[in-house]
Amino acid sequence: MKDILLIWDIDGTLIDSKGCGRRAMDRAFYKLFGIENGFKDVKMAGRLDALIVKDAMDRNNVADGDLILFFNMYCQMLEDEIVRGRKPEILPGIKEILERREICYRLYHVLGTGNIEQGARLKLSPHNINRYFPVGGFGDEEKERWQIIQHAIEKAQEYTKINFKKENIYVIGDTPLDIQCGKILGIKSIAVATGSHNMEELTRYQPDYLFPNFGDTDRFFEIFR
């Protein structure tokens, strides 16, 4: 039986965060530095949290910003946004995909995201889907995105004691950056147009598979046959 590893991005792929991350970042920035809209014009999709925050600090001339302090405040604000504000919504097909028990192969799910781990777990908590992702690669430190995915693969192998073959590893995401990770690491990529990029834009980056959304779960599972 084949062992298949799926590495999932979060925002725009598993969930539509409804902007809770951006609002929490803006609020944390204001609390710590007294600056409003600190993340205005800062691109977030597909990027690492550590780099997003550094970028905002540079643009606003915050010279002595501490990432650890910032992330502590961010997680407090994020929790508040999720409890009281607009909650992240789970995207079509995701629940079914995560719950499906396959007979012809075994599926293992891990996270591969630019979110810091605590933020990632908070965003997934309203839908109780953290339990499907025992480990992952996260954006706590300044790294390249492909290194996060590499880290997710290593963590998965450690956790499952399975040495996944490259042809059975898939990175899943909503941005060209996710697709690029697949090419850099020599693994497969599955792109989905439920986030910041449409089908036409994603096609240009030549993912191995492309979906408008994962609502048609039978088509999704066809990939692994």
Residues of this chain that bind Mg ion (CB under 5 A): 9, 11-12, 174, 195
Nearer Cβ to Mg ion, position 45 or 153? 45
The answer to whether the beta carbons of residues 122 and 96 sit under 8 Å apart is: no
| CA–CA dist 194, 173 (Å, integer) | 9
Instruction: Give min distance, CB of 69 to Mg ion, in A.
Output: 26
Q: Which residue is nearest to Mg ion (CB)?
A: 12
111 SS3 class = strand
Nearer Cβ to Mg ion, position 62 or 109? 109
The answer to whether the beta carbons of residues 219 and 197 sit under 8 Å apart is: no
Q: What amino acid occupies position 161?
A: K
Angle at 191 between CA 78 and CA 213, to 5 degrees: 75
Count of H-run helices and E-run strands, the chain: 9, 8
Q: What amino acid occupies position 6?
A: L
> Using CB atoms within 10 A of its CB, is residue 163 exposed (0-12), middle (13-18) or buried (19+)?
exposed
Burial readout 46-82 (b: 16 or more C-beta within 10 A, e: otherwise): bbbbbbbbbbbbeebebeebebeebbebbbebbbebb
Nearer Cβ to Mg ion, position 9 or 140? 9
Nearer Cβ to Mg ion, position 17 or 60? 17
Nearer Cβ to Mg ion, position 11 or 26? 11
Instruction: Give min distance, CB of 11 to Mg ion, in A.
Output: 4
Instruction: Give min distance, CB of 46 to Mg ion, in A.
Output: 5
Instruction: Give min distance, CB of 10 to Mg ion, in A.
Output: 6
Nearer Cβ to Mg ion, position 11 or 49? 11
Instruction: Give min distance, CB of 164 to Mg ion, in A.
Output: 22
Instruction: Give min distance, CB of 137 to Mg ion, in A.
Output: 14
Reference 51, options 99, 114, 97, 2; nearest CA is: 114
